[in-house]
Amino acid sequence: MIKESEKFSNSSIFEGMSSISALIKAIELGKNDRKILNIIIDSEKKEKKSREISFLKAKATTHKYNIQFAERAEIDSITVGSSHGGIIAQCTERTIPTLNTEKIKNNGVYFLLEGIEDPYNFGYSVRSLYAAGVDGVVLSPRNWMSAAGVVARSSAGASELMDMFVCDPVDAVNLFSKLGYQIVCAGIRDSVSLFDADLKKPLLVILGGEKRGISRAVLEKADKIVRIDYGSDFGGSLSTAAATAVFAFEILRNNPKS
């Protein structure tokens, strides 16, 4: 059986109003260059979704997309999940710019996510980062933004609003170091507790996936290795999404928004 993440690894179908609304907002804010081509609505939902349909029709002139109605079975045949609520959008791909020093904010907080195995975990991670006010996410050349629809759904649309950049992880660390950023890697060996660490901006935080983790070449460039202390004797590791949330909100606590 084909895994969902494999079947739709290059999907630009956005499912549900949360994802579509976030995309429209991101386009209007100039956050990315993705375009909506078609909105497809379950023909049986015309009455129930009248409010959403009115919103989409009002935006159609500006964004120049088509609205069409179709049977639920047709919609289900081109989507990954079943929680789309009868509204989906067919979209173009988004350009993820290459990172350079001009794109890095002064005194910011950025996360580099390395080795995440599936688009759902990636999307859940981005949701937490966006909610915590992180300035941007750095992706390795092999990343999950090709599965944009899956990522948008799992991130509740945050992936389209988040500033993202592509860069080789080692090159990214070198760029941030040149700008005076502290490089923090999540890990265990020779680590300090997250709750005792100096996490004042500017920061580049690097988290790895549960299986592959952070590469040695990146770890060797870290200013400090930081661990999450557990409240019980637990020998396992948190999911990347859970660890990302813990790191992101502890950093927010150390750098409250003015």
Which helix (H) or strand (E) element contains residue 178? helix 169-178
Same structural domain, 13 and 122: no
Q: What is the CA radius of gyration of the chain?
A: 20
Same structural domain, 84 and 111: no
Same structural domain, 237 and 170: yes
Query: For 10-35, what is each residue's pLDDT tens digit?
Result: 578 899 999 999 999 999 999 999 99
Tell me the two tokens of residue 159. 């992936």
The region of weakest confidence among 72-76, 94-98, 210-214 is: 210-214
Decide if 45 is inside a domain. yes
Q: Which of 11, 65, 76, 78 is CA-nearest to residue 38?
A: 65
Beta bridge partners of 70: 42
Q: Which of 153, 138, 155 is CA-nearest to residue 241?
A: 155
In this prediction, residue 140 carries a pLDDT of 86
Could you say which of 91, 109, 135 is where a domain stops? 91
Q: What is the Cα–Cα distance from 32 to 8, expressed in whole angstroms?
A: 21
Q: What is the CATH number of the domain that holds 118?
A: 3.40.1280.10
Same structural domain, 107 and 201: yes
Same structural domain, 11 and 73: yes
Output 77 or 117, whichever has higher pLDDT. Answer: 77
Angle at 25 between CA 115 and CA 249, to 5 degrees: 45
This prediction has a pTM of 0.90
In this prediction, residue 3 carries a pLDDT of 43
Residue-number span of the structural domain to which 48 is assigned: 4-91
Same structural domain, 171 and 47: no
Helices then strands, each counted (H, E), the chain = 10, 11
The mean pLDDT value of the chain amounts to: 90
Q: What is the Cα–Cα distance from 249 to 112, expressed in whole angstroms?
A: 16
Which helix (H) or strand (E) element contains residue 27? helix 17-28
Same structural domain, 37 and 84: yes
In this prediction, residue 8 carries a pLDDT of 46
Maximum alpha-carbon separation in the chain: 60
Same structural domain, 133 and 45: no
Beta bridge partners of 123: none
CB environment 197-206: b (16+ within 10 A), e (fewer): bebebbbbbb
Q: What is the CATH number of the domain that holds 40?
A: 3.30.1330
Tell me the two tokens of residue 214. 């952070």
Could you say which of 91, 109, 140 is where a domain stops? 91
